[in-house]
Amino acid sequence: MNISTHMVRAGNAFKDHPAIAVGTTILSNYGELARRVSCLATALRENFNLTNGDRVALIAHNCPEYIELLYACWHAGLVVVPINAKLHQSDFSYILENSGTKLCFTSPDLANSLNSLRGNELKTVIDVSGDDYTRMLACNPMRMISRAPEDMAWLFYTSGTTGQPKGAVLSHRNLLAMCQCYFADVDQGAPWQTFLHAAPMSHGSGLYGLAHVMQASCHIIPESGGFDAAEVYALIENWPGLTFFAAPTMVKRLLDHPGDTDTSNLKTIIYGGGPMYVEDCLAGLKRFGPKLAQLYGQGESPMTITALSSYMHANKDHPRWRDRLASVGIAQSAVEVRIANSRGTLLPSGEIGEVLVRGDTVMSGYWRNPEASAEALRDGWLHTGDYGVLDEDGFLTLKDRSKDVIISGGTNIYPREVEEVIIMHPDVREVSVIGRTDREWGESVVAFVVPRSGLAVDITSLEQFCLKNMARFKRPKHYRFIEKMPKNNYGKVLKTTLRELDQAGGDIHPR
């Protein structure tokens, strides 16, 4: 099964359906898109001499060519290596080299710097807005190359909030199972649907784009090529049945955006990729109505570990509704989810341990990294490195990455619990909690706080607030106020940078 089968199918059965739009302008229908895919596939094989399993990188801002390139590579039997265009040149160099990429497609502004990375493996860099690309489209169409379900389709480099990124090997089967779970567990399809790519297509938005090719939705590319709150609101007003994937920080930026745009066109905002605090989730429900769905996944099991559907978000009458909003939902239908202790023993509901996953979406291993693969995949289970707890109904609440858990006086403190409280303080805009080595306690709790604009947060009031809302031993011993939370290109808070900032000392406010 080649995942590109869905493009061929849509090109036949939904020829006239709009397929790609930029801003408010439709560029092509599925008939045209499928033809372009198959012409590009011919060029990939014939002009560049690529053969089954060869890697092709995409280092581009969100653009209309992104989708056709993904499918053209699969149509031609190749493997895609989508890389976030906002990464540093040294990351590009590392990933291109590690993946053994031969050909790279890119946006015009990145072409020069990427050309300087050509070497033994990487032979050619093609700007998607240039003449070489147009010439590729003039090739004759070809039949899709057949692929086995377990053949590699997408080499997904993890976002690497610590250390070098690793390439999770994702097969056609993994991607198909992810798409099926999307419709079964995250959000149901509709006859006329539009999917906005406001988040990077190298990651969640591109992955969920596959489900939207499966049902022939129209893909909307923002003119900015990225996330801009005003633009997203304008596109919601324009496009009926609009769904998009957003990191929690993007949802927060939409909520903070002034104005009261009519959002009745909005179908669903699917958020995930990092923690969403209950306060923000409640604000989202208030602003958009019951149109939020959440997924928890990781590159190693793309977009597919658990889901909290829009029904679960809306089910206010349920006695555990609020607890469920603090959770990441239940196991998606292609996977089993368990909790285990450090010796690998499975734990009953109510006990905190590492989240393990197995099923059809789980990667076969890391590319050219047998040690890391053996570490992550043990006894048939993917060890996620996330800590969490299942309740008796199967809802998973994430605690923290195992390395982020703070052990103070021999007791585990989960930063997320502390953050959930501090974020409710009216003067706090963002918060992230880390541990600091402490002679007396082993580790002590440090809260990095971004105040709401123009406000100074009073430590005594924060301290009172914490005493009122959390166990004494969990409350921060130190507060540090910063203007901006350090985040990676996917909007995840960089706790490593916070630790460095903390070690560097400075503006510390001890209790």
**Contacting range for ligand AMP; rule: CB under 6 A; set: 39-47, 231-239, 290-298, 334-342:** 290-298
CB 328 to ligand AMP: min, Å = 5
SS3 330: strand
Of 86, 257, 401, 509, the one binding ligand AMP (CB under 6 A) is: 401
Q: Which of residues 462-491 bind ligand AMP (CB under 6 A)?
A: none
Question: What backbone torsions phi and psi does residue 350 show, to the nearest 5 degrees?
Answer: 95, -15
Of 47, 158, 261, 364, the one binding ligand AMP (CB under 6 A) is: 158
**Contacting range for ligand AMP; rule: CB under 6 A; set: 115-123, 267-275, 337-345, 363-371:** 267-275
Which residues have C-beta within 8 Å of that of residue 174, sequence separation ≥ 6?
153, 154, 301, 302, 360, 361, 362, 363
* 3-state helix/strand/coil string of 433-492: EEEEEECCCEEEEEEEEEECCCCCCCHHHHHHHHHHHCCHHHCCCEEEECCCCCECCCCC
Considering beta carbons, is residue 66 or 296 the nearer one to ligand AMP? 296
Q: Does residue 83 interact with ligand AMP by CB under 6 A?
A: no
The size of the interface with ligand AMP (CB under 6 A), counted in residues, is 16
Contact 295, 146 (CB under 8 A): no
Cα 296 from Cα 305, distance rounded (Å): 6
Cα 350 from Cα 347, distance rounded (Å): 8
CB 490 to ligand AMP: min, Å = 6
Q: Does residue 298 interact with ligand AMP by CB under 6 A?
A: yes
**Contacting range for ligand AMP; rule: CB under 6 A; set: 294-302, 364-372, 417-425, 499-507:** 294-302
Considering beta carbons, is residue 336 or 458 the nearer one to ligand AMP? 336
CB 159 to ligand AMP: min, Å = 4
Considering beta carbons, is residue 72 or 292 the nearer one to ligand AMP? 292
Q: Which residues share a beta bridge with 356?
A: 338, 383
CB 203 to ligand AMP: min, Å = 7
CB 507 to ligand AMP: min, Å = 28
CB 405 to ligand AMP: min, Å = 12
Cα 247 from Cα 270, distance rounded (Å): 8
**Contacting range for ligand AMP; rule: CB under 6 A; set: 5-13, 69-77, 220-228, 270-278:** 270-278
Considering beta carbons, is residue 185 or 386 the nearer one to ligand AMP? 386
Q: Which of residues 195-254 bind ligand AMP (CB under 6 A)?
A: none
Of 40, 126, 270, 328, the one binding ligand AMP (CB under 6 A) is: 328
The candidate with the shortest Cα–Cα distance to 395, out of 341, 314, 342, 339, is 339
Cα 173 from Cα 472, distance rounded (Å): 49
CB 397 to ligand AMP: min, Å = 10
**Contacting range for ligand AMP; rule: CB under 6 A; set: 14-22, 71-79, 260-268, 273-281:** 273-281
Cα 129 from Cα 502, distance rounded (Å): 44
Cα 391 from Cα 349, distance rounded (Å): 5
Of 11, 225, 299, 388, the one binding ligand AMP (CB under 6 A) is: 299
Q: Does residue 273 interact with ligand AMP by CB under 6 A?
A: yes
Q: Does residue 432 interact with ligand AMP by CB under 6 A?
A: no
Considering beta carbons, is residue 272 or 365 the nearer one to ligand AMP? 272
Considering beta carbons, is residue 84 or 408 the nearer one to ligand AMP? 84
Please give the single-letter amino acid code of residue 441: W
Considering beta carbons, is residue 64 or 302 the nearer one to ligand AMP? 302
| Cβ neighbours, 10 Å, residue 173 | 20
Which residues have C-beta within 8 Å of that of residue 370, sequence separation ≥ 6?
none
Considering beta carbons, is residue 18 or 248 the nearer one to ligand AMP? 248
Of 275, 353, 388, 415, the one binding ligand AMP (CB under 6 A) is: 275
Contact 206, 197 (CB under 8 A): yes
Question: What backbone torsions phi and psi does residue 227 show, to the nearest 5 degrees?
Answer: -100, 120
Q: Does residue 294 interact with ligand AMP by CB under 6 A?
A: yes
Cα 209 from Cα 213, distance rounded (Å): 6
Give 3-state DSSP helix, strand, coil % of the chain, rounded to 5.
35, 30, 40
Of 398, 428, 447, 466, the one binding ligand AMP (CB under 6 A) is: 398
CB 398 to ligand AMP: min, Å = 5
**Contacting range for ligand AMP; rule: CB under 6 A; set: 127-135, 175-183, 252-260, 297-305:** 297-305
CB 360 to ligand AMP: min, Å = 18
Q: DSSP code of 346? A: B
The burial of 257, by beta-carbon neighbours within 10 Å (0-12 exposed, 13-18 middle, 19 or more buried), is given as: middle
Q: Does residue 105 interact with ligand AMP by CB under 6 A?
A: no
Q: Does residue 386 interact with ligand AMP by CB under 6 A?
A: yes
**Contacting range for ligand AMP; rule: CB under 6 A; set: 9-17, 266-274, 313-321, 418-426:** 266-274
Distance in Å from the first CA to the final CA of the chain: 60
**Contacting range for ligand AMP; rule: CB under 6 A; set: 110-118, 122-130, 250-258, 295-303:** 295-303
Side by side, the strands of the sheet bearing 508-510 are 428-438, 442-451, 478-481, 508-510
Cα 197 from Cα 90, distance rounded (Å): 26
Residues of the shown chain interacting with ligand AMP in the complex, contacts defined by CB under 6 A:
158-159, 272-275, 294, 296-299, 328, 384, 386, 398, 401
